[in-house]
Structure 1
Amino acid sequence: MSVTSIKKSFVFLRAIIIIRLINAFWVTTFFQPDEYFQALEPAWGLAFGARSGAWLTWEWRHQLRSSLHPVILSAAYLVADYGTRYLPIGSTAKTAVIVGAPRFVQAIIAALGDFFTWKLAMKIYPDSNDSSFALFLQLFSAWQWYCSIRTFSNSLETTLTITALYYFPWQDLLGVARTIKENPKMANSIDQRPRALRLSIICAAFAVLLRPTNVLIWATIIFVSVTRLCLKGPSPLTLAKVVVLLREAVLCGTVVLGVSLISDRLYFGFWTFPPYNWLYFNISKSLAVFYGRNPWHYYILQGIPLLSTTSLPFVLMTLYKPSASTEERYNILRTMTLAVGVTITALSLISHKEVRFIYPLLPMLNILAAPLAARFFTIPPPTTSQPPRLKNKMWLYLAVGINVLLAGYLSLVHQRAPLEIVSHLRKSYQESPAAQKDDLHVLFLMPCHSTPWRSHLAHDSMNAYALTCEPPLHTAPDTPERDLYRDEADRFYDDPIKFLSTELFAGEGRSPLPRYIAGFEGIEPWLHEFFDSTPTGRNLGVTVKPVWSAFNGFFNEDWRRAGRMVIWETTPVERHADL
């Protein structure tokens, strides 16, 4: 690589990192609980100890998750914690820096994903502006803006996948002897550059360990590489190349597996293998359906459109027929379309579906769609030294505008209350009198995991309680006991007064009276009825008064989360104190 190319790459990477850092701290909304409970909570516990109050869900107690992602985020917490000790800032600012540290790390990870998307597009489209459009589609993707900087394992998986695809020896898919001579940028043969192959395998292996379903992408690519199925100009792999592939796969795979096993051994305290545990629980317990069922066509009619937004027409066209002017390019794009198709088909057979499960496909979709988008929005220049001219400007501005508005609403408005409420509670706890700090500070009466937990409450001495929703691990699939199972949050919404009277505030294990109750505005009549009209509630000698609320968006698919998010203070009947 020339000095000029290195400088250009550095300039692009720096710009993308700045964009993603702005993106990371621009997004102030809640999306999905796994961002916190499958990454930040175990990371918080790892960084600050078992007594830090981190909420470890059942997946962690049964070793279904890899510790690799939390280890990275825990390092961010520790660096922020130690670093702020030497800064002349107050405790409030220090806590904010620690809470925000994982977002900083995730912004770098997201930027690397964008960068390698552009770099791979440069390899595939070396003599056109198609690579620039691939980056354009990536940066102006509403989904990418909304999700890439969140601490999902899917976000890290996406970056690892596109990085592995960039270093993958694509020329061994081409089957055309003239490739290296005519396009030196593609010449990263496994015979000539084993380091690239090793980086590809290492990134792919880590992606599979993080999310076992990622194996679908790589199984497809390797199968096509060996069989040359659906490719032009077939040329079987030589035995020497097969041996090299197997050797490097075993070597790099063993190293990655060893790192994962040691990390999990140190985290869990004993030897375990989360991918196996994940497979066992999903097959033997059939617990995926406990979190919802979706129709078989969910990814086709909802997943791909939500992932692609305004680039959907180009994505659909290129999945049907890749836009390629050479056999080499056709083979690469065709392999990607097959990987997309196999992944979508296989995941459609699983009952529980989410858009983020197919998130690793987004960079490939943007690369595939780039030539058609470039052709629709630009006119090729007469010479390579001139920039392309724009056409269909109205449609371009409309597409950008839709993505900006969608990303802006989702990032700044929709479900912002969950982050605001924990920040407010954290501040109120800091300002509480010392005599009250041992009391139950807040009781969350809302669907479980509706807000972040210790990663945003921060203070390990803050006592808080939230309704739980543990799955019925003790039941067998397709049994009446499984079908009739109701978790704690279900029981509260089934009969709020009964739950508060007979479960939460009654019996030997009853909850202590909280200083604050947090929930959605729809539960307020139930609170007043319980505390003012029932024997159990009247015996507590308090009433509730709203002292804080926040807007939570214009709609929510879950009726239990409708309306504003509210904090009520419990005060003795004879007095009313403001927060």
Structure 2
Amino acid sequence: MTSTSGRTLDTNALRWRGESRLVARPSQDSTWTLSTSKSAGTDVTSMTSVVPSEGGGGGQEFVQAPPHPIATPAPPRSANPTASHTSVFLFLLAFRLLNALLVRTFFQPDEHYQATEVAHHAVFGYGWRTWEWMSDEARGGEIRGFLHPAIFAALMWIVRLLRMDAPIILATAPRLLQAVFAACSDLSVYKLSDRLVGSQAGCMTLHCLLFNTWLLYTSCRTFSNTLEAQMISMALLNWPLSLPASSEEMFPNASAIEPIDQSMLETLNRSIISSRKLSLALFFAALSIAVRPTAIIVWSFLGIKLICDQVASARRCSTTLEVLESVFSLAVIVVCVPTSLIPSFSFFTLLDSIYYGRFIFVPYEFMKRNVGSAGVSVFYGSSPWHFYLSSVLPLLGLTTLPYMLRGLYMALTCSTRSHQTPTPAGMNAAANNGARDVAALKTLAFLTVWTIFAYSLLGHKEQRFLQPVAAITLPIFGGLALSSPRGGMPHTNVGTVEPQLQPEAPAPAPAALAGAPCVVSQAIGHLTLFSKQLWTSFASLKRSHKWAQIALLAHLVPSIYLLRYHCIAQEQIPRRISQLADKESFKSIALLMPCHSTPWQSIMHRQDLSIFSALGSDSGEGKGGRAWALTCEPPPIGADSSSYVDQSDVFYADPLAYLRNRFPASVDARFQPSAIGAAESAAFMPLWEALQLRRSADTPQGVPLSVRVDKSASPLHTWPSHLAIFSNLLTVASPTSAKSGRPSAPTDTVGAYLEALGYVEVERHFNSLFHDDHRRSGDVVILQWQGSS
């Protein structure tokens, strides 16, 4: 609506975008009026401003934005306001499902041993549960929450109920489920970027998400870090990253208006933190902490900042309305935090207590064992303080990292008062395209810095720990930079056209699908619509950032290699073992590889190879029986980890000596299962513990079998019918022989020694072109015993 006394701003026409808010704020000399009119049967509240000209003549009219944007409601942009987000979600879902189907390689053990392996054990009754899931007072087990595996356990239970529990389905189904979570997370990140920066930045953020090699490689894998980041993204979408504006910023002359009408009160109500959104954010925050307790690093920062901002805002109150707003906002926080977190953590604690058979609060146990004075995480490796800066960030961003760092710098250094151009055109463009929430962007920027800093303080570092940064904040900052002119932040002035996601009707489906069901036809239409819009935004990069397209496309080559070929044999060997187990010649197999180099029963799915059926106990799954592998159990609590050496390290210190000393001199063709305790021999324990074990041969029967085995006895293993090893092991010679200077004997390499025993190579599987662990270099070779020569 318009007015002869000045320019009228229709507050109902402004666009509501969560924390993004618009305001008409006058200068000191301007005059504001508040009016209400009827439009289509609805009260429309308008504000009019007139600024006197310098010559005293007609007033100059303009609308100026405030330091802090103010949220106002908007009418639907079409009859179906959710159509655009439906298109985005269906596109992302299809993309991530395809992403999951393309994954056929092995990355890190936790993808299986902290998720699907535990779920397989819960559903089928057998599987390799590592020490973290066992009741082991010596090592301090039971430190993992069951919520994460329970998701996949529910899926496996359905698969079992339908009698579809083939190894290939058990390997694929969890990743397809994870792809659904990934699509929801991508949509949340897109919506967050769209809300804070603008729709153009939302599309650019999606480019940074979907082209990113690291995210293509990890988003559909069943890591707890992946689900943690996905829960955090959904929480951030509803979290108050910046406080709602005060009533003074909404209505500078509010105290002079009598009486305050109902429409103004409704607008003022939006200056209070939404209890519904905050409760939803807290729910997803609790989920992220239950999945991985280290998520407290993220939420401690956001929680403290929210409280500090709210207290600071309360201290600045100058009117009764502002006092009420602060009181109500604080009340929302005080009420929502306990009502959301207490039921959530009570349920998670109940779930964990049922799984472990005793009352347990897993976040406390996890932090105590990993971060406390008895922290065991450092046993699995430590890195310098700059590891995340010098090694991980370049890996997470690759060729798009410069754009992401530029966006981070822009968010850190941009003032909340800069880029608030006091022009009517700027307000009009902002009303149509969405105002930036600079304060929220700064919050995300400081959150990124804090997360990297906090994780850098820990001794044990892994790339996966920065998954929330890789999957949420870096893509948003990349979208911010790519949607900005080279000189600064995105403009919303006249002449700036942002590629909007128009909620128009979906594009018609191809003619070949004309007879398909209506739902399928609509889905194809949504996919076609958004694909075209995404392509349009990608093509626009050629004009604004000429190298951006190349930087994004450069991710495709490493992505294809990592998804399809790198460490492929490590992922496929368990399925191959499952097939070999049907042959009459197959009796047992040992994986002489670094610990957890392959998945286990979650893909193998052979109970007849499990220690459960071999020895009547599942406490040592994978450590003995018809199928076993080298392990890397951590040192007991209180032991000196610097002098402790696990089984894998002992084996690779001198593989030939290990085979000669820990196996019989000849192969027994009966292929008896190996004992469970073979994985914990005294040779790779601290001397004091080894002596103690030798003195306690008459251990009571109540002690686990792995402790009752005489660990000073030799040999400890039995020869299996098949061996699986990395090919580089075949050429390894004994370091003892090399140091002695004597001539090498014919059996001074592992390959020659095994050949003399009667083992012959029957299969060779390509694994990788290179590997960061030299022990895993080369192909994966399967050897079969065919009799001594």
State the match for 2:576 in structure 1: 424
2:761 equivalent to 1:565: no
Deviation at 1:228, TM superposition (A): 3.1
The code of the aligned residue for 1:319 comes to L
State the match for 1:488 in structure 2: 647
**CA distance in 2: counterparts of 1:177 and 1:562, whole angstroms:** 66
Kept in 1, the 8 Å contact 2:722–2:783? The answer is yes
State the match for 2:296 in structure 1: 215
2:492 equivalent to 1:345: no
State the match for 2:174 in structure 1: 102
2:124 equivalent to 1:48: yes
Which residues of 2 match residues 531-546 of structure 1 at below 5 A? 542-546=757-761
State the match for 2:720 in structure 1: 514
Q: Structure 1 residues 179, 96: CA separation in 2 closer, same or farther (over 3 Å shift)?
A: farther
Deviation at 1:289, TM superposition (A): 1.5
Q: Structure 1 residues 215, 530: CA separation in 2 closer, same or farther (over 3 Å shift)?
A: farther
The code of the aligned residue for 1:43 comes to A
Kept in 1, the 8 Å contact 2:661–2:715? The answer is no
The code of the aligned residue for 2:131 comes to W
Q: Structure 1 residues 496, 530: CA separation in 2 closer, same or farther (over 3 Å shift)?
A: farther
**CA distance in 2: counterparts of 1:120 and 1:297, whole angstroms:** 30
SS in 1 for 2:100: helix
2:275 equivalent to 1:194: yes
**CA distance in 1: counterparts of 2:205 and 2:754, whole angstroms:** 65
Q: Structure 1 residues 137, 176: CA separation in 2 closer, same or farther (over 3 Å shift)?
A: farther
Kept in 2, the 8 Å contact 1:190–1:244? The answer is no
Deviation at 1:99, TM superposition (A): 2.6
**CA distance in 1: counterparts of 2:268 and 2:233, whole angstroms:** 18
The code of the aligned residue for 1:472 comes to P
SS in 1 for 2:157: helix
**CA distance in 2: counterparts of 1:339 and 1:547, whole angstroms:** 53
Q: Structure 1 residues 466, 234: CA separation in 2 closer, same or farther (over 3 Å shift)?
A: farther
**CA distance in 1: counterparts of 2:653 and 2:635, whole angstroms:** 18
Q: Structure 1 residues 233, 12: CA separation in 2 closer, same or farther (over 3 Å shift)?
A: farther
Which residues of 2 match residues 174-573 of structure 1 at below 5 A? 191=272, 193-228=274-309, 238-282=326-370, 283-322=372-411, 325-326=419-420, 329-362=437-470, 363-375=472-484, 383=497, 389-390=540-541, 391=543, 394-429=546-581, 431-433=582-584, 439-440=587-588, 442-462=589-609, 463-476=626-639, 479=640, 482-505=641-664, 507=713, 510-525=716-731, 542-573=757-788
Q: Structure 1 residues 484, 244: CA separation in 2 closer, same or farther (over 3 Å shift)?
A: same
2:109 equivalent to 1:33: yes
SS in 1 for 2:758: strand
Kept in 1, the 8 Å contact 2:247–2:271? The answer is no
Q: Structure 1 residues 188, 211: CA separation in 2 closer, same or farther (over 3 Å shift)?
A: farther
SS in 2 for 1:81: helix
Kept in 2, the 8 Å contact 1:169–1:190? The answer is no
The code of the aligned residue for 1:344 comes to I
Deviation at 1:38, TM superposition (A): 0.9
SS in 1 for 2:81: helix
Kept in 1, the 8 Å contact 2:661–2:714? The answer is no
Q: Which runs of 5+ in 1 are unaligned?
A: 86-90, 575-579
Q: Structure 1 residues 177, 418: CA separation in 2 closer, same or farther (over 3 Å shift)?
A: farther
**CA distance in 2: counterparts of 1:70 and 1:190, whole angstroms:** 41
* Percent of residue pairs identical: 29
Higher helix share: 1
TM-score, scaled relative to structure 1: 0.86
SS in 1 for 2:771: coil
Kept in 2, the 8 Å contact 1:188–1:196? The answer is no
Q: Structure 1 residues 175, 141: CA separation in 2 closer, same or farther (over 3 Å shift)?
A: farther
Deviation at 1:190, TM superposition (A): 8.8
**CA distance in 2: counterparts of 1:554 and 1:194, whole angstroms:** 53
Deviation at 1:295, TM superposition (A): 0.8
**CA distance in 2: counterparts of 1:141 and 1:246, whole angstroms:** 39
**CA distance in 1: counterparts of 2:281 and 2:351, whole angstroms:** 21
**CA distance in 2: counterparts of 1:190 and 1:113, whole angstroms:** 27
Which structure's CA Rg is the greater one?
Answer: 2
Q: Structure 1 residues 410, 174: CA separation in 2 closer, same or farther (over 3 Å shift)?
A: farther
1:58 to 128, 131, 135: 131
Deviation at 1:192, TM superposition (A): 7.1
**CA distance in 2: counterparts of 1:289 and 1:204, whole angstroms:** 27
Deviation at 1:203, TM superposition (A): 0.3
Deviation at 1:227, TM superposition (A): 2.2
Deviation at 1:205, TM superposition (A): 1.1
The code of the aligned residue for 1:468 comes to T
The code of the aligned residue for 2:605 comes to A
Deviation at 1:450, TM superposition (A): 0.7
| The 10-residue stretch of structure 1 (494-503 or 194-203) with the greater mean CA deviation from structure 2 | 494-503
**CA distance in 2: counterparts of 1:352 and 1:542, whole angstroms:** 41
For the aligned residues, what is the CA RMSD? 3.3
The code of the aligned residue for 1:129 comes to Q
Q: Which runs of 5+ in 2 are unaligned?
A: 1-74, 135-140, 253-266, 318-324, 421-434, 501-535, 610-625, 666-712, 735-743
State the match for 1:88 in structure 2: none
**CA distance in 1: counterparts of 2:284 and 2:315, whole angstroms:** 28
Deviation at 1:14, TM superposition (A): 1.1
**CA distance in 1: counterparts of 2:316 and 2:296, whole angstroms:** 25
Per-residue CA deviations over 1:310-336 (Å, capped at 9, x if unaligned) read: 221122223233167459611101111
**CA distance in 2: counterparts of 1:168 and 1:200, whole angstroms:** 5
The code of the aligned residue for 2:353 comes to R
Kept in 2, the 8 Å contact 1:171–1:189? The answer is no
SS in 2 for 1:572: coil
State the match for 1:577 in structure 2: none
Deviation at 1:347, TM superposition (A): 0.9
State the match for 2:240 in structure 1: 169
Deviation at 1:531, TM superposition (A): 11
State the match for 2:200 in structure 1: 129
SS in 1 for 2:384: coil
State the match for 1:13 in structure 2: 89
Per-residue CA deviations over 1:203-230 (Å, capped at 9, x if unaligned) read: 001112222221122222222222239x
**CA distance in 2: counterparts of 1:398 and 1:167, whole angstroms:** 34
Deviation at 1:125, TM superposition (A): 2.7
